[in-house]
């Protein structure tokens, strides 16, 4: 028996490589998460940037609470089983009327994870619409092989290397992913997806949470992750502790160590030492 998703929803995820929408938070709760983020940004006087957009759940107790949200984990358990690590989180923030976009790509390209049983929960802090650059998915593309990608490092590309698929993708088959604030979509690590710029007067904010079953291995570096449900008999990752207070000394140290490992994996073969702003 699935814990949250219907049998049809699980079958659809397996067939198409994605499923949405899954209601997780009320509109008020989603607004609360946005407020947490924006209160921090108000203190620093700028949008969340660079390394802090990644593995943000190691820095802030509210983000940590979200990656442990029982509804999210129930849906994840339905697709990858009961023993779950949170590998990373990535904020995808598109500022109002901004050229920022995400080229067509497969997440698996630089991550170093094996096998491909990796699922992203993309949680909408604001509505995601055709006008503000919602994601688009290519149904069934998780079943094709890893495609060749080229690194562009384009300044407006929100991906780590600005990587894009180097072969022709039939974008006309793309399915838009509208979400209301508080809903999430699920997608497979090899699903082809991308998104266009935000043409509206408000920000579009989503947090991508990457979950793996404990048997998955990192092939590029000795990596770390957080055990968020079940048990781990594989010990393929060092454990990350949960933050006790926002940005306290130990949270900052954990985050710095963890991001360093991830940057080594994601930027292998380049001279990059940190995530791009
Ligand atoms: Ni992606």
Say what the pLDDT of residue 272 is.
86
> Which domains, and CATH codes, for the chain?
7-266 (2.60.120.620)
What's the rounded Cα separation, in Å, for the pair 255 and 260? 8
Q: Are 119 and 74 in contact (CB under 8 A)?
A: no
Cα(80) to centroid(ligand 1), Å: 18
- Sheet containing 135-137: order of strands: 102-106, 192-195, 135-137, 175-176
What's the rounded Cα separation, in Å, for the pair 56 and 70? 19
Say what the pLDDT of residue 104 is.
94
Cα(160) to centroid(ligand 1), Å: 10
Question: Alpha carbon of 159 to those of 106, 195, 240: distances in Å?
Answer: 11, 11, 24
Token pair 């049983």 in the structure block, residue: 117
Cα(5) to centroid(ligand 1), Å: 22
Question: Alpha carbon of 76 to those of 2, 87, 253: distances in Å?
Answer: 10, 13, 28
Which residue intervals of the chain are DSSP H helices?
A: 7-16, 27-44, 61-67, 70-80, 249-266
Token pair listed for 175: 């399915």
Q: State the average pLDDT over residues 205-216.
A: 98
| Mean pLDDT value across the chain | 96
Write the DSSP assignment of 82-107 as a string of letters: S-EEEEEEEEEEE-TTB--BEEEEEG
What residues pack around ion ligand 1 (CB closer than 5 A)? 107
- Where does the pLDDT of residue 273 fall: very low under 50, low under 70, confident under 90, or very high at 90 and above? confident
pTM of the model: 0.96
Q: Would you say residue 16 has pLDDT above 80?
A: yes
In angstroms, how far is CA 154 from the centroid of its own chain? 20
Lowest-confidence range among 65-79, 192-206, 257-271?
A: 257-271
Give the percent of the chain with pLDDT over 90: 88
Cα(188) to centroid(ligand 1), Å: 9
Model confidence over 151-199: pLDDT tens digits?
A: 999 999 988 899 999 888 888 999 999 999 999 999 999 999 999 999 9
Cα(207) to centroid(ligand 1), Å: 11
């Amino acid at each position: 028996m699935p814990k949250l998703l219907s049998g049809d929803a699980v079958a659809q995820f397996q067939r198409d490589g994605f499923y949405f929408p899954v209601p997780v938070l009320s509109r008020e709760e989603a607004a609360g998460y946005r407020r947490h983020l924006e209160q921090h940004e108000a203190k620093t006087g700028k949008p969340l940037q660079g390394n802090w957009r990644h593995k943000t759940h190691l820095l802030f107790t509210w983000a940590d609470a979200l990656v442990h949200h029982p509804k999210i984990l129930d849906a994840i358990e339905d697709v990858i089983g009961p023993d779950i690590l949170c590998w990373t989180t990535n904020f995808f923030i598109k500022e109002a009327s901004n050229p920022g976009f995400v080229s067509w790509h497969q997440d698996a390209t630089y991550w170093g994870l094996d096998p491909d049983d990796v699922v992203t929960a993309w949680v909408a802090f604001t509505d995601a619409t055709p006008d503000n650059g919602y994601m688009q998915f290519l149904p069934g593309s998780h079943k094709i092989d890893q495609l060749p990608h080229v690194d562009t490092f384009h300044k407006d590309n929100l991906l780590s290397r600005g990587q894009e698929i180097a072969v022709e993708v039939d974008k006309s088959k793309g399915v838009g992913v509208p979400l209301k604030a508080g809903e999430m979509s699920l997608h497979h690590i090899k699903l082809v997806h991308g998104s266009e710029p935000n043409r509206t007067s408000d920000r579009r904010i989503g947090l991508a949470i990457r979950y793996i079953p404990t048997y998955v291995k990192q092939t590029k570096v000795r990596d770390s992750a957080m055990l968020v449900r079940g048990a781990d008999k594989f010990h393929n990752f060092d454990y990350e502790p949960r933050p006790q207070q926002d940005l306290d000394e130990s949270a900052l140290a954990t985050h710095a160590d963890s991001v360093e490992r991830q940057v080594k994996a994601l930027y292998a073969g380049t001279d990059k030492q940190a995530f791009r702003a």
